[in-house]
Amino acid sequence: MNILIVYAHPEPHSLNGVLKNFAVQHLEKNGHRVQISDLYAMKWKSELDARDFPAYDSSTTLNPVAESKRAFAEGSQTVDVVAEQEKLIWADAVIFQFPLWWFSMPAILKGWFDRVYAYGLAYGVGEHSDTHWGDRYGEGSFAGKRAMLSITTGGWESHYSARGINGPINDLLFPIQHGALFYPGFDVLPPFVLYRVDRINETNLNATLSAFATRLDGLFFDAPIAFRRQNFGDYNIPALTLKDNVETENLGGFSLHLQKQSG
């Protein structure tokens, strides 16, 4: 299978770098084909601006959505963006490797999403009507592909628990997993999260890599997060609110958008 690793850490010898290198070795050993987007090494331009649209008429007001649509449709995007889009189209699965900085992804990775996710590729696709509001949240250009976050954080696991002061880890990652990944169609696997990374050393690194290997081995077999699909009966369209008859007992917040598990 084809696997893309989007890697965002400025230090090649960091734990994130170790995980990235291990993933490449382990996946290739198991017969997969791997490409890497090392954003810092690539000196990835993180900000979306007029330079992303070479055909843009600078005498007019910049509308990033409209220009993205036109550039993607006309083939006038920048070469770096096109290269990343081609990797996404090639990939059967994408792994995002990054540290959790200020409760989210590093800015350079956010800029990768901002620039690569063009109108007509990651959004703005599909029929919009009274019964179907675009191909998104379970449908879209990346339907059939899988994605997984692999992240590191300095905090304790308890800090990110249901009663932890930082908030539940799945809530913090909801905008990425549900928004940036499930929205354009990815099947999103539960994240691989390493806590208290300052305590990981040569003594316990092997156990960490063994746990990571297990997750890598399940990349195409493990069950994805059971997000509700937008156009499959749970939501009012076009209001995009959950229907009154959808069972949400004991659910609240972001978990409303998870399918209720039986038992």
Question: Over 90: is that where the pLDDT of 110 sits?
Answer: yes
State how beta strands 192-194 and 93-99 pair.
unpaired
147 falls within a domain = yes
CB-CB neighbours of 31 under 10 Å? 7
Amino acid at 26: H
188 falls within a domain = yes
- What is the per-residue pLDDT across 18-69, written as a single tens digit (0 to 9) for each? 999 999 999 999 999 999 999 999 999 999 999 999 999 999 999 999 999 9
249 falls within a domain = no
Residue 91's alpha-carbon distances to 85, 146, 163, 211, 219, in angstroms, are 10, 9, 37, 23, 13
Please, how many CA atoms are within 13 Å of residue 212, restricted to the half-sphere of its CB? 26
141 falls within a domain = yes
CATH, residue 151: 3.40.50.360
Question: Over 60: is that where the pLDDT of 237 sits?
Answer: yes
Evaluate if pTM is beyond 0.75: yes
CB-CB neighbours of 91 under 10 Å? 22
Question: What is the rounded CA–CA span in Å between residue 207 and residue 192?
Answer: 14
Instruction: Report residue 70's pLDDT band, with 50, 70 and 90 as the boundaries.
Output: very high
- What is the per-residue pLDDT across 154-179, written as a single tens digit (0 to 9) for each? 999 999 999 999 999 999 999 999 99
Residue 113's alpha-carbon distances to 65, 194, 260, in angstroms, are 14, 23, 30
259 falls within a domain = no
Number of domains in the chain: 1
126 falls within a domain = yes
- What is the per-residue pLDDT across 175-222, written as a single tens digit (0 to 9) for each? 999 999 999 999 999 999 999 988 888 788 989 999 999 999 999 999
Phi and psi at residue 5, in whole multiples of 5°?
-110, 115
Torsion sign over Cα 77, 143, 137, 224: negative
E-assigned strand segments in 153-207: 187-188, 192-194
Supply the range of the domain harboring residue 114: 2-225
Question: Over 70: is that where the pLDDT of 263 sits?
Answer: no
Phi and psi at residue 166, in whole multiples of 5°?
-80, -10
255 falls within a domain = no
145 falls within a domain = yes
